[in-house]
DNA sequence: CTGCTAGCATA
DNA sequence: GTATGCTAGCAGA
C-alpha cells in the first residue's frame, strides 16, 4: 500500500487473508517483531490516567510516570526480557504538516494542550530514549503517517509489525503482518478483529472514516451518517466509490446529505488516509532500511540521573540496586513495617487471643530471614498479588508467605501508588526465592495453585513442591458450596478478612493492586497466605478422614491441576485467516436474510432483539403466540419459530439469521481476538472447582462448546490447527455415560450389549420395539437414542414427549417398555433416589461426593429436580473422574517416554493433542489404550481416535 | 457502566 | 430432563 487507497478499488470477495496453504497462521507468528508505538496517541491517555504526581520541586510527572510503566510493559510483553528486537516510539512534531496545507481547518477545533502536559513532553522523549527506544519525531509528518510508512516497510522487510496505539484510525494499516494493540485496554486488532469491531475489513476503514468523518480532527463526513449507515452502505456498494456512484438511488435524508457531500468526500478521504510512503531519510539512519530501529539496553547511569532529577524515588532505588550500588534509602533506614491484622469479628476455635503479625519486607535482611524460615518450614503457604486476572498476562505486584498461624510476610515488588515506599527489586527478589520456589522437596500450599503457577511462570519460574490446594480440598470436601478464600475462612476459621473490593473498589472505579497502599496490601495479602495455611490445617484432616475423598483429592484433582496448567500454558493454534473468511461469508448471508426479512415485515427491525422480533411477529403480523418467557413476553425461541416456520415465511429467516449471528459473534469474530499476541495461541482457562459433578469447565474462551452439530458451525473447527510438521489427534470415549449406567446398575441386557460391542441405541430399540436389531428402522433408533439420553438426565414422560414431539401417554408407554426390558436400570434409578434421600448425597464410582440439598427439603418441583440430579450426577461425575484419570495416565506416559506430543484440550469425554508427525502411530495406538485402561468396569471402556490437519478432520 | 433476560453453543 | 459459558439487547443507574 504505497498509495492512498484508490477510490475505485473494488471490495475483494474475501479479506486480504491468504489461504492457510500458502500462509499458515504460524508463519506470521514466527517472524521477527517490529513494535511501533504511537507515542502521541498515548500522551493524553497517560496524562489523564495517572494521578497528578509532582516531583519534590512541583514539576508535573504523572504522564512521565505513565510512559515509563507503559514502555517497560510493552517491551516485556511483546519483545520479551532478552536483548534485541526492533521498535520505535513515534511522536508528532510541533508545527504544520502536509495535511494542514491540504485543508487549513484540519484539527482547527482542537483545544490547546494543557501546560502540565506540554512541559512533560521533552522529558518523556528523553526517558523513552533512555529506556532504549529509538524515538522518531519528523517535522511536517504526523506520527500516524510515519507509523504507516514504517509498518509498510517493516512488513515488506519480513517483520511482524505490532502497532501500539490508542487511535482507532490506524485500523486501516492492519493486514496479514500488521496488528494493532491498545496497551491501555489490552485489546488487539488483527484482520478479523477489525472486521468484528468496525463491521468492515481493514482495507475499507478509510472509506468508513470518510463517510462518518472525524470530529476530533475536524474532518467532516456525511451529515447524519454514523457507523451503522456507513457499514450498511459499504456492504451494499462495496466501497466509497461504489457508494458515491449509487448516491442518486439512495433514499431518505441520509441520501440527500450524501449527495451534498459528493464534492467533499474525495478530499475527506485523502485526509483520513494514512500516508505510507513518507520520506524518513535523515530521521531513520540507513533509510529505507529499518535495521537501525533496534531496541538498545536501558542506559542505566543516565536513567538513574533522570529518575533523580524528577524525584522518582522508588524507581531510582530499584535501578540503583540493580546496578549493584546499595540502594541508599533502603540500606539506610527502612525498617519492617509491622502491621496488625484486622480484628476478626468472631474468634475461631483454638485461635483465642492469637495476635496476628504481618510484616512488610522491604530490606534484604528481612527477605533473607524469611527465606530461611520458608526453607525450615514443614509446609508454607504462598500467594501472589498481580496486575491482571488473565493468568497468562498477569505480572507480580507482590508476594506473601506464611509458615505458621498468626504470622505472614508480604514482599511488595511493584507498588507504584502515590505513597509507595522503596521496594526491593523484583528480579532480585525472584532470584533469591527461585531455589526455594523450584525445590520439589519444599512443601507448599496455596489457594488455586494453578493461577500462582502461571503467574510465576510468567516470570520464568517453575514452581515445584505444591503439596496442597485449599480450593481443591474444599471442592472435593463439599463441591456444592462456594470455594473463595473469603468463604473458606468464614466457614472453617470463623474469620473475615479484608476483601479485594475493600482494597481496590469495583467496576470502572477499580484501581490496580499496584496502587494499593503497601500497608493495607500487607494486611490483605498476608491474610491470604495465613488464612490459606490455616484453612488447610483445618480442612485437610477432615477430608483425609474419608478415604474416597482423600483419593479423589490426591490421586485425581491435584495431579490434574498440574496438567491443566501445562495445557493452558501451551495453548492451541487457531488459524485467524480461516475464521476471517468464515466471518465474511456469514456477514454476507446475514445481510441477505435481513433484506428478505425487512421485505416480509414491511419495515427494518433488529433481528438480534427478541423483543423487536416479538413486536413484528405477534403484534404487527399477528402470528399466534405459542408460549411465553419467564417474564411473560411472547417467546421467540427456536422451538416456537420452528413451529411458526411451517405456516409463515419470516420465522425461518429469523432462525437462520440467529444461528449465523451466534456463530459469528461467539466464534468466528471472537476467537481470533483471544489469540495471545506473545504466543500466537489461544489459552483457555479450565475451572477445576466449578461444576458440582466433577467436570471441568472452560472459559476465556470456552473451548468446550465449539460447534459440531451443524455443517456451518462445524467448520469453525477447521480453524483449530497444528503447527507445521504436526497433526491434531482427537480421542473420545464412546458412550461413556451409558457404559457407566450399565456398570452401576448391573443390568444384564445393557451389559451384554456393550460386552458384545453392539450399537447400543440399536440394541435399545430392538428391545423396546421387540424386533431383531437388523429390523430396527432409523427412526426407531433415533427414538431409542433420545430415550437413552433422557435416562442419563433423569427424565420423565413429559420430557421425553417434549423432545420426541409425541403425546405424553405414548412417551410413558416407551418408558414403561424400556424399564420392563431393562429392569436393572429401573432398580438402580429407584435405589439411587432412595439412597440420596437417605444420605443427602450421591457418590461417583471413585468416591466423589455430590450433596443434594433439596433431596429431602420441602416442595415438589425442587425435590423432583434433586432426584434428577441424583440420577445424573453419579454418571456424569464418574465420567469426569475417568477422563481425569485418563489425562493423568496419558500425560505420565508422554513424560516418561519423552514424547513431544502435547495435550491441548479436554472436552468432557474427549482429549485433543498436538502430535508431531513421527509420533502419530504412537498416539493412535497408545492414547485410546491408556484411556480404556484407567478402570476395569463390568463393561469395556472404548476410546475412538481420529487424526487430521485440524480438529474438524480429526473426527 | 452494571446487571438482568433470552437465547444458544457443547457434553 | 443433567452440567456448563458467552453474547446481544435492554433497562435502570
Q: What is the mean pLDDT of residues A712-722?
A: 96
Q: What is the mean pLDDT of residues A411-424?
A: 94
Nucleotide with C1' nearest the A671 CA: C6
Instruction: Supply the pLDDT for residue A354.
Output: 60
**Pairing mode, if any, of strands A444-446 and A380-386?**
parallel
Say whether the CB atom of A799 is under 7 angstroms from strand C.
Answer: yes
Specify the range with the lowest mean pLDDT, choosing from A251-265, A336-350, A570-584, A704-718.
A336-350
Q: Does some domain include residue A44?
A: yes
Distance A639 CA to C1 C1' (A): 16
Nucleotide with C1' nearest the A695 CA: C3
Say whether the CB atom of A629 is under 7 angstroms from strand B.
Answer: yes
Instruction: Supply the pLDDT for residue A81.
Output: 62
Q: Look at phi and psi of residue A571 and say left if phi exceeds 0, alpha if psi is from -120 to 50, else beta.
A: left
Report residue A888 as a C-alpha cell. 493423568
3-state secondary structure of A89: strand
For residue A348, pLDDT over 70 is answered with: no
3-state secondary structure of A163: strand
Q: What is the mean pLDDT of residues A805-816?
A: 92
Say whether the CB atom of A666 is under 7 angstroms from strand B.
Answer: yes
Q: What is the mean pLDDT of residues A600-604?
A: 93
CB A850 within 8 A of CB A873: yes
Say whether the CB atom of A636 is under 7 angstroms from strand B.
Answer: yes
Residue with cell 508431531: A916
In A291-387, beta strands by DSSP E? 337-340, 357-360, 380-386
Q: Are residues A318 and A352 in the same domain?
A: no
Last residue of a domain, one of A844, A875, A906: A875
Nucleotide with C1' nearest the A510 CA: B1
Better-predicted residue by pLDDT, A96 or A775: A775
Distance A795 CA to C2 C1' (A): 9
For residue A836, pLDDT over 50 is answered with: yes
Q: What is the mean pLDDT of residues A874-880?
A: 97
Distance A634 CA to C13 C1' (A): 27
- DSSP conformation class of A200: S
Number of other CB atoms surrounding residue A868 within 10 Å:
17
3-state secondary structure of A728: strand
Categorize the per-residue pLDDT at A364 as very low, low, confident or very high, splitting at 50, 70 and 90: very high
Last residue of a domain, one of A507, A529, A545: A545
For residue A561, pLDDT over 70 is answered with: yes
Q: Are residues A384 and A481 in the same domain?
A: yes
Categorize the per-residue pLDDT at A343 as very low, low, confident or very high, splitting at 50, 70 and 90: very low
Q: Are residues A189 and A303 in the same domain?
A: yes
Q: Are residues A314 and A344 in the same domain?
A: no
CA A892 to chain centre: 28
The enclosing domain of A750 has a CATH number of 1.10.150.20
Instruction: Supply the pLDDT for residue A215.
Output: 72
Q: How far apart are the first and last CA of chain A?
A: 41
pLDDT in tens, A48-87: 777 778 887 888 888 898 899 889 888 887 777 666 789 9
Torsion of CA A420, A421, A422, A425, to 10 degrees: -60
Nucleotide with C1' nearest the A802 CA: C1
Q: Are residues A774 and A821 in the same domain?
A: yes
Q: What is the mean pLDDT of residues A667-675?
A: 92
Say whether the CB atom of A609 is under 7 angstroms from strand C.
Answer: yes
pLDDT in tens, A629-664: 888 899 999 989 999 999 999 999 999 999 999 999
Say whether the CB atom of A497 is under 7 angstroms from strand C.
Answer: no
The enclosing domain of A499 has a CATH number of 3.30.420.10
Nucleotide with C1' nearest the A793 CA: C2
Q: Are residues A290 and A341 in the same domain?
A: no
Q: Does some domain include residue A245?
A: no
Q: How far apart are CA A604 and CA A264, in angstroms?
A: 30
Instruction: Supply the pLDDT for residue A632.
Output: 85
pTM for the predicted model, two decimal places: 0.71
Say whether the CB atom of A699 is under 7 angstroms from strand C.
Answer: yes
| CA proximity to A290, closest of A35, A39, A1, A28 | A35
Nucleotides of B under 7 A from a protein CB: 1-3, 5-11
Q: At what angle do helices A778-792 and A808-821 cross, to 10 degrees?
A: 80
Q: Are residues A804 and A666 in the same domain?
A: no
Distance A711 CA to C7 C1' (A): 21
**Mean confidence (pLDDT) of chain A:** 89
- DSSP conformation class of A942: -
Most confident by average pLDDT, A13-27, A66-80, A213-227, A278-292:
A278-292
Cβ neighbours of residue A878 under 8 Å, at least 6 residues apart? A740, A744, A844, A845, A846
Specify the range with the lowest mean pLDDT, choosing from A245-259, A410-424, A768-782.
A245-259
Q: Which residue is nearest to nucleotide B1 (CA to C1')?
A: A508
Q: Are residues A350 and A485 in the same domain?
A: yes
Q: Which residue is nearest to nucleotide B4 (CA to C1')?
A: A631
Q: Which residue is nearest to nucleotide C9 (CA to C1')?
A: A609
Long-range contacts of A860-864 (CB under 8 A, 24+ apart): none
Distance A883 CA to C8 C1' (A): 35
Distance A663 CA to B8 C1' (A): 10
Kindly tell me the burial class for residue A547, based on how many C-beta atoms sit within 10 Å of its own C-beta (0-12, 13-18, 19 or more). Answer: exposed
Instruction: Supply the pLDDT for residue A858.
Output: 66
Q: Does some domain include residue A527?
A: yes
Instruction: Supply the pLDDT for residue A184.
Output: 64
CB A329 within 8 A of CB A82: no
Q: Which of residues 577-616 of A touch strand B (CB under 7 A)?
A: 610
For residue A837, pLDDT over 70 is answered with: yes
Instruction: Supply the pLDDT for residue A484.
Output: 95
- DSSP conformation class of A400: E
CB A945 within 8 A of CB A729: yes
Say whether the CB atom of A662 is under 7 angstroms from strand B.
Answer: yes
pLDDT in tens, A879-902: 999 999 999 999 999 999 999 999
Categorize the per-residue pLDDT at A685 as very low, low, confident or very high, splitting at 50, 70 and 90: very high
Categorize the per-residue pLDDT at A115 as very low, low, confident or very high, splitting at 50, 70 and 90: confident
Distance A524 CA to B8 C1' (A): 40
Q: How far apart are CA A954 and CA A879, in angstroms?
A: 22
Q: Are residues A406 and A295 in the same domain?
A: no
Categorize the per-residue pLDDT at A878 as very low, low, confident or very high, splitting at 50, 70 and 90: very high
Instruction: Supply the pLDDT for residue A219.
Output: 81
| CA proximity to A39, closest of A155, A172, A159, A144 | A144
- The percent of residues in chain A predicted with pLDDT above 90, rounded, is 68
Q: Are residues A390 and A298 in the same domain?
A: no
For residue A28, pLDDT over 70 is answered with: no
The enclosing domain of A641 has a CATH number of 1.20.1060.10
Q: Does some domain include residue A514?
A: yes
Q: Which of residues 456-515 of A touch strand B (CB under 7 A)?
A: 506-508
For residue A23, pLDDT over 60 is answered with: no
Q: Which residue is nearest to nucleotide B5 (CA to C1')?
A: A631
Instruction: Supply the pLDDT for residue A346.
Output: 31
| CA proximity to A843, closest of A547, A560, A555, A561 | A547
Report residue A386 as a C-alpha cell. 498481580
Kindly tell me the burial class for residue A334, based on how many C-beta atoms sit within 10 Å of its own C-beta (0-12, 13-18, 19 or more). Answer: buried
Last residue of a domain, one of A498, A529, A545: A545
Q: Does some domain include residue A635?
A: yes
Tell me the HSE value of A913 on the side-chain side, using a 13 A CA sphere.
27
Distance A422 CA to C8 C1' (A): 47
Nucleotide with C1' nearest the A801 CA: C1
pLDDT in tens, A191-231: 877 887 888 899 999 999 999 888 777 788 888 888 878 88
Q: Does some domain include residue A533?
A: yes
Q: What is the mean pLDDT of residues A620-633?
A: 90
CA A50 to chain centre: 27
The enclosing domain of A105 has a CATH number of 3.40.50.1010
Q: What is the mean pLDDT of residues A594-609?
A: 92
Q: Phi and psi (nearest 5°) for A408?
A: -155, 160
Q: Are residues A538 and A468 in the same domain?
A: yes
Q: What is the mean pLDDT of residues A759-782?
A: 96
Instruction: Supply the pLDDT for residue A715.
Output: 96
Q: Does some domain include residue A930?
A: no
Q: How far apart are CA A565 and CA A457, in angstroms?
A: 10
Rg (chain A; Cα; Å) = 32
The domain in which residue A589 lies consists of 573-682
- The percent of residues in chain A predicted with pLDDT above 70, rounded, is 93
Q: How far apart are CA A713 and CA A588, in angstroms?
A: 16
Q: Does some domain include residue A729?
A: no
Kindly tell me the burial class for residue A641, based on how many C-beta atoms sit within 10 Å of its own C-beta (0-12, 13-18, 19 or more). Answer: buried
As for how many domains chain A has, the answer is 4
Instruction: Supply the pLDDT for residue A600.
Output: 95
Q: Are residues A403 and A537 in the same domain?
A: yes
Q: How far apart are CA A344 and CA A498, in angstroms?
A: 10
Distance A865 CA to C1 C1' (A): 9
Distance A286 CA to B5 C1' (A): 60
Instruction: Supply the pLDDT for residue A101.
Output: 84
Instruction: Supply the pLDDT for residue A345.
Output: 32
Instruction: Supply the pLDDT for residue A26.
Output: 47
Widest distance between CA atoms in chain A: 95
For residue A156, pLDDT over 50 is answered with: yes
Q: Which of residues 611-640 of A touch strand C (CB under 7 A)?
A: 611-612
Say whether the CB atom of A635 is under 7 angstroms from strand B.
Answer: yes
Q: Which residue is nearest to nucleotide C2 (CA to C1')?
A: A793
Instruction: Supply the pLDDT for residue A686.
Output: 96
Buried b (16+ CB within 10 A) or exposed e, A292-324: ebebeebeeeebbebbeebebbbbbbbbbbbee
Q: Which residue is nearest to nucleotide C3 (CA to C1')?
A: A691
Amino acid at each position: 500500500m504505497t498509495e492512498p487507497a484508490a477510490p475505485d478499488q473494488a471490495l475483494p470477495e474475501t479479506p486480504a487473508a491468504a489461504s492457510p496453504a500458502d500462509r499458515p497462521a504460524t508463519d506470521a507468528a514466527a517472524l521477527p517483531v517490529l513494535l511501533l508505538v504511537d507515542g502521541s496517541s498515548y500522551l493524553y491517555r497517560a496524562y489523564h490516567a495517572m494521578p497528578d504526581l509532582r516531583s519534590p520541586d512541583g514539576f508535573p510527572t504523572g504522564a512521565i510516570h505513565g510512559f515509563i510503566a507503559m514502555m517497560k510493559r510493552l517491551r516485556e510483553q511483546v519483545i520479551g526480557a532478552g536483548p534485541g528486537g526492533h521498535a520505535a516510539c513515534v511522536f508528532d512534531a510541533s508545527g504544520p504538516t502536509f495535511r494542514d496545507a491540504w485543508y487549513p481547518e484540519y484539527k482547527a477545533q482542537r483545544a490547546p494542550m494543557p501546560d502540565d502536559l506540554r512541559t512533560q513532553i521533552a522529558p518523556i522523549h528523553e526517558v523513552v530514549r533512555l529506556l532504549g527506544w529509538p524515538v522518531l519525531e519528523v517535522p511536517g509528518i504526523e506520527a500516524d503517517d510515519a507509523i504507516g510508512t514504517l509498518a509498510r516497510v517493516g512488513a515488506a522487510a519480513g517483520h511482524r509489525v505490532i502497532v501500539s496505539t490508542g487511535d482507532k484510525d490506524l485500523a486501516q494499516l492492519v493486514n496479514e503482518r500488521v496488528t494493532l494493540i491498545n496497551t491501555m485496554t489490552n485489546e488487539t486488532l488483527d484482520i478479523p478483529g477489525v472486521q468484528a469491531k468496525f463491521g468492515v475489513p481493514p482495507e475499507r476503514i478509510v472509506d468508513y472514516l470518510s463517510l462518518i468523518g472525524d470530529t476530533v480532527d475536524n474532518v467532516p463526513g456525511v451529515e447524519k451518517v454514523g457507523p451503522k449507515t456507513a457499514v450498511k452502505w459499504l456492504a451494499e456498494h462495496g466501497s466509497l466509490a461504489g457508494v458515491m456512484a449509487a448516491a442518486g438511488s439512495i433514499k431518505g435524508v441520509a441520501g440527500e446529505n450524501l449527495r451534498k457531500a459528493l464534492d467533499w468526500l474525495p478530499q475527506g478521504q485523502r485526509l483520513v488516509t494514512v500516508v505510507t510512503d513518507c520520506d524518513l531519510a535523515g530521521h531513520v539512519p540507513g533509510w529505507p532500511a529499518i535495521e537501525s530501529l533496534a531496541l538498545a539496553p536501558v542506559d542505566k547511569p543516565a536513567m538513574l540521573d533522570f529518575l533523580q532529577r524528577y524525584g522518582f524515588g522508588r524507581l531510582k532505588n530499584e535501578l540503583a540496586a540493580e546496578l549493584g550500588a546499595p540502594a541508599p534509602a533502603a540500606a539506610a533506614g527502612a525498617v519492617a513495617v509491622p502491621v496488625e491484622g484486622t480484628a476478626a469479628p468472631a474468634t475461631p476455635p483454638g485461635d483465642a487471643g492469637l495476635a496476628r503479625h504481618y510484616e512488610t519486607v522491604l530490606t534484604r535482611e528481612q527477605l533473607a530471614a524469611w527465606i530461611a524460615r520458608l526453607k525450615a518450614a514443614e509446609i508454607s503457604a504462598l500467594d501472589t498479588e498481580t496486575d491482571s486476572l488473565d493468568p497468562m498476562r498477569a505480572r507480580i505486584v507482590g508476594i506473601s508467605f506464611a509458615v505458621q498461624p498468626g504470622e505472614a510476610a508480604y514482599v511488595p515488588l511493584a507498588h507504584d501508588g502515590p505513597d509507595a515506599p522503596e521496594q526491593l527489586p523484583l528480579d532480585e527478589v525472584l532470584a533469591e526465592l527461585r531455589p526455594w520456589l523450584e525445590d520439589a522437596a519444599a512443601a507448599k500450599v496455596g489457594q488455586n495453585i494453578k493461577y500462582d503457577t502461571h503467574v510465576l511462570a510468567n516470570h520464568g519460574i517453575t514452581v515445584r513442591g505444591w503439596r496442597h490446594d485449599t480450593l481443591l480440598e474444599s471442592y472435593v470436601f463439599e463441591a456444592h458450596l462456594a470455594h473463595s478464600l473469603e468463604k473458606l475462612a468464614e466457614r472453617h476459621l470463623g474469620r473475615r478478612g479484608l476483601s479485594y473490593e475493600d482494597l481496590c473498589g469495583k467496576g470502572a472505579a477499580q484501581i490496580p493492586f499496584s496502587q494499593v497502599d503497601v500497608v493495607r496490601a500487607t494486611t490483605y495479602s498476608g491474610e491470604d497466605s495465613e488464612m490459606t495455611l490455616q484453612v488447610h490445617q483445618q480442612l485437610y484432616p477432615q477430608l483425609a478422614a474419608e478415604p474416597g475423598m482423600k483419593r479423589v483429592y490426591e490421586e485425581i484433582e491435584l495431579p490434574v491441576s498440574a496438567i491443566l496448567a501445562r495445557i493452558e500454558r501451551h495453548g492451541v493454534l487457531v488459524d485467524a485467516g480461516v475464521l476471517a473468511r468464515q466471518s465474511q461469508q456469514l456477514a454476507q448471508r446475514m445481510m441477505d436474510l435481513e433484506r428478505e426479512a425487512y421485505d416480509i415485515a414491511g419495515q427494518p427491525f433488529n433481528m438480534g432483539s427478541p423483543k423487536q422480533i416479538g413486536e413484528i411477529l405477534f403484534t404487527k403480523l399477528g402470528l399466534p403466540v405459542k408460549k411465553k418467557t419467564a417474564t411473560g413476553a411472547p417467546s421467540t425461541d427456536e422451538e416456537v419459530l420452528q413451529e411458526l416456520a411451517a405456516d409463515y415465511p419470516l420465522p425461518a429467516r429469523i432462525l437462520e439469521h440467529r444461528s449465523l449471528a451466534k456463530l459469528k459473534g461467539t466464534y468466528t469474530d471472537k476467537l481470533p481476538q483471544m489469540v495471545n499476541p506473545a504466543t500466537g495461541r489461544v489459552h483457555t482457562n479450565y475451572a477445576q472447582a466449578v461444576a458440582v459433578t466433577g467436570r471441568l469447565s472452560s472459559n476465556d474462551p470456552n473451548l468446550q462448546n465449539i460447534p459440531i452439530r451443524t455443517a456451518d458451525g462445524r467448520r469453525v473447527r477447521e480453524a483449530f490447527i497444528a503447527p507445521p510438521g504436526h497433526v491434531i489427534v482427537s480421542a473420545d470415549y464412546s458412550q461413556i455415560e451409558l457404559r457407566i449406567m450399565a456398570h452401576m446398575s448391573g443390568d444384564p441386557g445393557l451389559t451384554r450389549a456393550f460386552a458384545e460391542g453392539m450399537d447400543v441405541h440399536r440394541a435399545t430399540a430392538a428391545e423396546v420395539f421387540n424386533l431383531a436389531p437388523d429390523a430396527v428402522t432409523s427412526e426407531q433408533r433415533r427414538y431409542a437414542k433420545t430415550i437413552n439420553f433422557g435416562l442419563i438426565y433423569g427424565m420423565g414422560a413429559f420430557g421425553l414427549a417434549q423432545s420426541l414431539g409425541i403425546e405424553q401417554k405414548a412417551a410413558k408407554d416407551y418408558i414403561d417398555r424400556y424399564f420392563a426390558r431393562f429392569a436393572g436400570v429401573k432398580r438402580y434409578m429407584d435405589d439411587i433416589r432412595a439412597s440420596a434421600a437417605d444420605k443427602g448425597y450421591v457418590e461417583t464410582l471413585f468416591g466423589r461426593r455430590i450433596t443434594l440439598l433439596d433431596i429431602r427439603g420441602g416442595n415438589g418441583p425442587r425435590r423432583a429436580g434433586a432426584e434428577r440430579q441424583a440420577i445424573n450426577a453419579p454418571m456424569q461425575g464418574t465420567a469426569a473422574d475417568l477422563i481425569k484419570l485418563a489425562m493423568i495416565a496419558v500425560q505420565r506416559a508422554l513424560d516418561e517416554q519423552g514424547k513431544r506430543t502435547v495435550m491441548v484440550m479436554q472436552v468432557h469425554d474427549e482429549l485433543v493433542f498436538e502430535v508431531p508427525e513421527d509420533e502419530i502411530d504412537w498416539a493412535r495406538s497408545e492414547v485410546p489404550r491408556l484411556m480404556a485402561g484407567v478402570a476395569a468396569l463390568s463393561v469395556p471402556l472404548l476410546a475412538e481416535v481420529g487424526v487430521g490437519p485440524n480438529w474438524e478432520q480429526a473426527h
